Every structure is written in C-alpha cells, then in structure tokens.
C-alpha cells in the first residue's frame, strides 16, 4: 500500500528539542513539504477547508508534531488495564470511525516526540502494580502503524515492553507496513490485532487504509514472527449477501495464515452502532455515504455518559452472533472468540 506522506506539517517549538522531532523536521524539509510552527499541537490554524468535506480531507493530509504534556495513564477497559498514546487520529478515512465525535472538525494526524517520557510513565505504572502483569493499549485514539515509517516509535515501544517482565502491550491496526517490526525483540509481550472486514466494507467505507489482502499478508508475517496476535472484525454490518461475504473473509484468512491457522489466537467481534451526533458529523463529511443509519431500524441503548447508541435490534444481533460463533470454529478450531458486542 502507499505509505502516508503529509501534504503539510506543523511543529510545536518544543518538539524540535527532541531527536525524533528534529528527525521529522529534517525529513519534511528534505521532501520539500511546507512546514509551519504552531504554538500548540491542540490548536492548529492554517489547515485549509471551508466545507466539512474539504476540512476533513485536508486534515487527514496534515501531520502535527508535538510534545505530550499530560502523562497520566487512563484505564482502558475492556481492552487493557490502561492506555497511553503515541499520537492521535490516522490517515485513514473510515466513514464510521468512532473518533468522529471526539477529534473535532479537522482530525489532523498528530504524533508525539517525547516517547521516552511517555514510556517512563508506563514503567512507573508497571512498577506500582508488581507483581501483577499490567496491560496497556496503544491504539485507542490512533493507529501507530500508519506513521511507523516516519517515526519508528512503535518498534521502540515494542522493544521496551519486550524488556518488561510485568508489562504487556496491545495494539490494533488497519495498516500493513509491519516489515520493520518483524525483527524487534518483542519477547511475545506485544499482541497485534488486525482490524479486518469483508472486501465490500473495506472498499466502500475504509478509504486510505490497507486492502484486505495487504492486512491478511501482514497478519501472516506477524504470526510467523511469533507475536501473539488476533483479529477484530468490526464493525459487523448486516447487508445484502453479508453471510457470503463474511464466509469468504474467513476463508481468505485461513489461506493467508496457512499452518499458522492452527495457532491459538483471538477474535473480537463488534457490531455496528452509531450515535445521533456521529450520524450528523458523518453525513456532513460524507453526504453520499452508503452507511445504513436508519434509527427506525435500530434499537436505542442508553450509555453511561448520558447519551445513547443505535444498535441492531436483538434478533439481528443474534443472527450475527450465531453466524460467527458457528463459522469461526470450523476454520480456526484453536482460536478464542473473546467477546461479541
């Protein structure tokens, strides 16, 4: 796949005090990418876009390089014990993305250069919790693999966790540029999960991400490099021929894994849902979207933060669950279905 190279870049002045910040500045300069200095990575002015569609498109082409000032580690249930971030947003243009309501009108691609300071905070948390194993999610607000060819931060993080007896790392990705990670000293302390879906869903709703074939090829490489691994199939959609398409997905996955299909690995299954606010933003950015967001065909479920989501009604959720819980064991008898929601 074509790797992300930004159209423009913004740097916080403090970012240039870090080796990674200077490295990125030099690379952007060498590529003749326009650079501006911004006082804060949280408020970036100068990204073009007078309409929601253009603003979104141009933000996804913009790299912002900053320093992560807050090093507090938040809980991350049910994925892990805690989460930390190496950046926010990603170059992908997934129409249904759950970050649509949290990253603002211009969800630019942001990376942090003070990786050692971030990992020091992780180290302290691991030490606090010993002798228990503490797990961390690094992809809750971004896809770090999408910018790994620019930063190298993910390999550094994987090798950091490889040296932590009581620390474990989890990440999920829709990208495929894993070659630089295959020789990392991971000590099986990092679990890769590839977000996959049917060809139709990826081609229709997941612009600027790796193709299904590319993701499955990358997953095979990760399996052979002896990383713990798994798959998130999400969002699960009910549409014409969904059973046939998802069965083809499982067949392709089995072919790409080959002998590794007999390994123990995990599946996480998440059905499509949306909020009223997310629907509004999605329709502004993608006015011709084919996403099915008919509230009358969904069941409304209140959330713990004072707003609710529109889920498939119980009988349709049961159809999805029955399909996957019967099909997955036929292809992958050793795999674990961790949850269906």
Q: Per-residue confidence at 100, pLDDT binned at 50, 70, 90?
A: confident
Instruction: Give the pLDDT confidence score for residue 16 in this predicted structure.
Output: 97
Pairing status of strand 206-207 against strand 190-196: unpaired
What residues make up the domain containing 90?
8-340
The pTM of this model reads 0.93
78/168: higher pLDDT? 168
For residue 103, pLDDT over 90 is answered with no
Average pLDDT (34-58) is 93
For residue 194, pLDDT over 90 is answered with yes
Instruction: Give the pLDDT confidence score for residue 98 in this predicted structure.
Output: 83
Instruction: Give the pLDDT confidence score for residue 261 in this predicted structure.
Output: 66
The string of pLDDT tens digits covering residues 241-253 is 999 999 999 999 9
Instruction: Give the pLDDT confidence score for residue 327 in this predicted structure.
Output: 97
Instruction: Give the pLDDT confidence score for residue 262 in this predicted structure.
Output: 65
Residues ≥6 apart with Cβ < 8 Å to 260: 220, 223, 224
Average pLDDT (175-196) is 97
303/259: higher pLDDT? 259
In a domain, 2, yes or no: no
Instruction: Give the pLDDT confidence score for residue 305 in this predicted structure.
Output: 63
Instruction: Give the pLDDT confidence score for residue 306 in this predicted structure.
Output: 64
For the chain, where are the E strands, in sequence order? 8-11, 35-37, 62-66, 74-76, 80-83, 87-88, 93-94, 109-112, 134-137, 167-173, 190-196, 206-207, 229-236, 266-271, 273-274, 299-302, 308-311, 336-340
Least confident interval from 36-45, 75-84, 135-144: 75-84
In a domain, 328, yes or no: yes
CATH code of the domain in which 309 resides: 3.80.30.30
Residues 278, 101 contacting (CB under 8 angstroms): yes
Instruction: Give the pLDDT confidence score for residue 105 in this predicted structure.
Output: 82
Average pLDDT (149-178) is 97
Residues 248, 255 contacting (CB under 8 angstroms): no
Residues ≥6 apart with Cβ < 8 Å to 30: none
CA angle in degrees (0–180, nearest 5) for 126-131-134: 40
Structurally, the chain folds into a number of domains equal to 1
**pLDDT above 90 covers what percent of the chain?**
87
């Amino acid at each position: 796949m074509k790797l992300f190279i930004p159209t423009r870049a913004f740097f916080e002045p403090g970012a240039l005090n870090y080796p990674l910040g200077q490295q990125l500045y030099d690379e952007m300069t060498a590529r003749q990418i326009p650079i501006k200095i911004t006082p804060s990575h949280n408020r970036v002015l100068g990204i073009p876009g007078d309409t929601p569609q253009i603003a979104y498109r141009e933000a996804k082409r913009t790299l912002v390089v900053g320093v992560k000032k807050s090093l507090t580690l938040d809980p991350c249930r049910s994925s892990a014990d805690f989460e930390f971030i190496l950046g926010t947003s990603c170059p992908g243009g997934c129409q249904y993305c759950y970050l649509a309501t949290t990253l603002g009108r211009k969800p630019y691609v942001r990376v942090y250069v003070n990786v050692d300071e971030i990992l020091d905070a992780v180290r302290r948390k691991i030490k606090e919790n010993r002798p228990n194993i503490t797990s961390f999610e690094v992809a809750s607000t971004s896809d770090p693999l999408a910018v790994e060819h620019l930063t190298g931060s993910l390999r550094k993080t994987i090798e950091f966790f490889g040296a932590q007896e009581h620390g474990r790392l989890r990440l999920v990705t829709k990208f495929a540029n894993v070659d630089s990670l295959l020789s990392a000293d991971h000590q099986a302390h990092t679990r890769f999960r590839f977000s996959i879906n049917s060809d139709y869903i990826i081609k229709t709703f997941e612009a600027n991400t790796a193709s299904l074939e590319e993701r499955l090829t990358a997953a095979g490489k990760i399996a052979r490099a002896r990383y713990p691994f798994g798959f998130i199939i999400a969002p699960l959609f009910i549409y014409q021929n969904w059973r046939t398409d998802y069965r083809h997905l499982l067949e392709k996955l089995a072919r790409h894994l080959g002998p590794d299909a007999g390994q123990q690995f995990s599946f996480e299954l998440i059905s499509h849902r949306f909020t009223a606010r997310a629907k509004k933003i999605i329709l502004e950015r993608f006015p011709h979207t084919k996403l099915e967001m008919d509230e009358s065909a969904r069941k409304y479920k209140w959330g713990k933060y004072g707003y609710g989501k529109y889920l498939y009604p119980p009988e349709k959720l049961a159809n999805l669950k029955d399909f996957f819980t019967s099909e997955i064991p036929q292809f992958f008898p050793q795999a674990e279905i961790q949850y269906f929601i």
